[in-house]
């Protein structure tokens, strides 16, 4: 027969499987000596006061590390879509701080994203049942491979995924700064660049470029990075430049350079 301790452990595992809630890791930008304390219109950062929205945006767009992996918050465009798995978090985190310093309310329509800007509005479509909802991003997570959003309890109820715990979803960016865009043609955030490339080689001979490209594409790079060849004309010569693509911030591209000993490689913004 099972011991009392075994029964408790099994019951706990079943509960976690049902709720889909995961252990969350602090990514708060409101800790340590550089605390961010709002007094309404302004936010205090150390001994300086700046407008809330500017301070919040700057603080929460910094790269951060969780479980040994670095995440790079990025800008987004109205209409941009992402596919993956949604989970939800509720009572264990209710009334605790979110990553941007707000108090988590499991009854509010909010969500957590690893990289989207805070206060981005996203539509979450449950592919499993056709239900959808709109939430505001105010936290970081979920830090589980394949998961792209953590929903509040109320938002999870809206798309009927509470019982199952997770759902296959697509999320679409529909607004910024807590507001839904008036038209689908609204431009990207002003500081959005688009993409960054890291040039790792330049060849006058196309075969050399192809060999280098294939080497890196077969070397086990993260699947969102890809080596490509771009041709440029310099004088009367054609150069075949091998680029690593897939970086969505300059910080991410520079981190890739350092990690792979490409200190002399060029970072190019598209």
20 backbone φψ class: left, alpha, beta (φ>0; ψ -120 to 50): left
| pLDDT for position 11 | 39
**Cβ neighbour number for residue 258 with a 10 Å cutoff:** 9
| pLDDT for position 18 | 35
Separation CA 261–CA 256 (nearest Å): 8
SS3 state of residue 151: strand
* Nearest Cα to Cα of residue 30 among 56, 49, 52: 56
Neighbouring-strand partners of residue 173? 122
| pLDDT for position 25 | 58
SS3 state of residue 145: coil
Domains 19-180 and 196-269 share a fold: no
CATH fold label, 196-269: Alpha-Beta Plaits (3.30.70)
| pLDDT for position 27 | 55
Which residues lie below 8 Å from residue 207, measured CB to CB, with a gap of 6+? none
Output the CA–CA distances (angstroms, integers) from residue 103 to 107, 110, 174, in the order listed.
12, 11, 24
Q: Which residues of the chain have pLDDT under 50?
A: 1-21, 28-52, 185-193
Would you say 36 and 30 are in contact if contact means Cβ atoms under 8 Å apart? yes
Judged on CB neighbours under 10 Å (0-12, 13-18, 19+), 136 is: buried
Farthest-apart Cα atoms in the chain, separation: 83
In the chain, domain spans? 19-180, 196-269
Token pair 């294939």 is found at: 214
Separation CA 160–CA 163 (nearest Å): 8
DSSP 163: T
| pLDDT for position 247 | 80
* Nearest Cα to Cα of residue 174 among 109, 119, 99, 242: 119
Neighbouring-strand partners of residue 241? 202, 230
| pLDDT for position 108 | 93
| pLDDT for position 219 | 81
Sign for the CA dihedral angle at 78, 79, 80, 81 comes to positive
Which two three-digit tokens encode residue 175? Answer: 């607004």
| pLDDT for position 84 | 95
| pLDDT for position 78 | 84
Which residues lie below 8 Å from residue 141, measured CB to CB, with a gap of 6+? 22, 24, 25, 27, 89, 99, 112, 113, 114, 150
| pLDDT for position 42 | 35
| pLDDT for position 152 | 95
Would you say 212 and 203 are in contact if contact means Cβ atoms under 8 Å apart? yes
Separation CA 57–CA 36 (nearest Å): 12
Q: Which CATH number fits domain 19-180: 2.40.50.140, 2.40.40.10, 3.40.190.10, 3.20.20.140?
A: 2.40.40.10
């Amino acid at each position: 027969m099972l011991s009392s301790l075994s029964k408790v452990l099994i019951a706990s595992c079943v509960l976690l499987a049902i709720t889909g809630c995961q252990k969350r890791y602090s990514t708060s930008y409101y800790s340590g000596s550089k605390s961010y304390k709002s007094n309404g219109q302004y936010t205090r950062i150390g001994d300086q006061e700046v407008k809330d929205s500017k301070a919040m945006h700057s603080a929460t767009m910094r790269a951060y590390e969780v479980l040994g992996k670095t995440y790079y918050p990025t800008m987004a465009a109205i209409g941009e879509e992402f596919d993956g798995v949604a989970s939800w978090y509720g009572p264990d985190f209710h009334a605790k701080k979110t990553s941007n310093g707000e108090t988590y309310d499991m009854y509010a329509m909010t969500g957590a994203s690893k990289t989207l800007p805070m206060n981005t509005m996203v539509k979450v479509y449950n592919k499993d049942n056709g239900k959808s909802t709109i939430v505001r991003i105010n936290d970081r997570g979920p830090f589980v491979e394949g998961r792209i959003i953590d929903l509040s309890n109320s938002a999870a109820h809206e798309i009927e995924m509470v019982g199952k715990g997770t759902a296959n979803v697509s999320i679409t960016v529909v607004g910024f700064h807590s507001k839904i865009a008036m038209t689908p043609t609204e431009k990207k955030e002003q500081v959005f660049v688009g993409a960054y490339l890291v040039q790792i080689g330049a060849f006058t001979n196309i075969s050399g470029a192809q060999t280098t490209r294939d080497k890196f594409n077969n070397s086990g790079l993260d699947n969102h990075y890809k080596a490509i060849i771009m041709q440029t004309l310099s004088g009367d010569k054609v150069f075949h430049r091998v680029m690593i693509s897939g970086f969505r911030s300059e910080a991410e591209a520079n981190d890739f350079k350092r990690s792979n000993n490409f200190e002399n490689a060029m970072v190019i913004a598209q």
